[in-house]
Structure 1
């Protein structure tokens, strides 16, 4: 019998997103601690991900990297979150690509210059610029969520998981979401689901 799915990474990294997907699907898994420095340099890990970045996933003969791609695979193969129609499947892909291109770059510009880098390496102007850029995609979410509880409609879906797990960084670290009450309420719902709380406990205790 094949062993559990193996996720390489640490909770305080983009591997957090994959921990959420693993917890939501209920698949048996093992977290293989692999850090940003020495862990990713090892020949054994480079054989799994030649980019030398975390996370990476091994599921039997399947080897994947890129957190959002890993999540698509996990939710497509395991659990019951994956949509039943091709149309909603397309929307999951849409929101996944959107969050990678529209949310993550400005969010990380803000985060690196607000709390990630040492204080003497932060640029307040860059932080402000990232925060300003992030307002546009948050406004998109505010509009979409004006008449629905989740991105595809009434029910939580992989689209919600992907976008909310990326936005966890802003949500958890004090980004001002007051101008976006619908988006904030949606994030509160998504990021306090039981499976997400289990992943958050791993990340926030680290």
Structure 2
């Protein structure tokens, strides 16, 4: 059985959502991010990304990591694409061309959207007071996101989905990435097609099952 290492309040959410979408059973080992703990190296600390046992599995100390039939794989986008190819028709690629397009959208999410979207999440999305410097960082991150989000907006406005005119793993990857910026109204109100697509994607039973599990975890 597939084993997912990582709490649901992490990029493991993407993997768990996909598993629920396709009915793929899995075990979850709730490895928590070390930065969320006051002393991750304490003797009584929960299993975390600094734990020696986890670092044997993931030398880089990052979650999620999966184990599947002897394969140990990290990096959430790579995991999504691997599982989609192995299990997830019709969410996976139906042709080499679709496979390439799914790679394209995952690369765009990872390189052009996620870094600045995370800035919005950490400095704006959690509702904390912002210094003047943080406000500038938020404004700059939002400005940088306009161009890549316009690309996504145009695709969704014309086709409804990212690949193959159907919901696929590319939509999961992109939706979970854009979710980091979803709470920043001055940016997201510029992209109505993305907004509706997020509502539809997050209304799916697979997302809802993952989200309830996420909410049940400690913050």
Give the structure-1-normalised TM-score. Answer: 0.90
Counterpart position of 2:14: 17
2:2 is matched with which residue?
5
Match of 1:89 in 2: 99
Q: 2:72 aligns with which of 42, 63, 67?
A: 63
In structure 1, runs of 5+ residues without a counterpart are none
> Matches of 1:83 and 1:44 in 2, distance apart?
35
1:79 to 77, 88, 94: 88
User: Does structure 1 residue 99 correspond to structure 2 residue 109?
Assistant: yes
2:49 to 33, 36, 40: 40
Residue range with higher mean Cα deviation, 120-129 or 35-44? 120-129
In the other structure, the counterpart of 1:149 is 160
CA distance in structure 1 between the partners assigned to 2:194 and 2:130 by the alignment: 33
2: distance between equivalents of 1:11 and 1:126?
A: 27
Distance in 2, matches of 1:21 and 1:86, equals 21
Q: Taking structure 2 as the reference length, what is the TM-score of the superposition?
A: 0.85
**Structure 1 stretch 96-105 or stretch 185-194: which is displaced more?**
185-194
Distance in structure 2 (CA, Å) of the matches to 1:133 and 1:204: 30
1:174 deviation in Å? 4.2
Q: Counterpart in 1 of 2:177?
A: 166
Structure 2 unaligned residues grouped into runs of 5+: 35-39, 41-47
- Alpha-carbon deviation of 1:41? 1.6
CA RMSD between the two structures: 1.9
Q: 1:53 to 1:29 in 2, by over 3 A?
A: same
What are the Cα deviations for residues 22-61 of structure 1, in whole angstroms up to 9, with x where unaligned?
2122111011011112311222211111001111111121
Q: Partner of 1:58: helix, strand, or coil?
A: strand
Q: C-alpha displacement at 1:109, in angstroms?
A: 2.1
Structure 2 CA distance for aligned equivalents of residues 109 and 169 of structure 1: 8
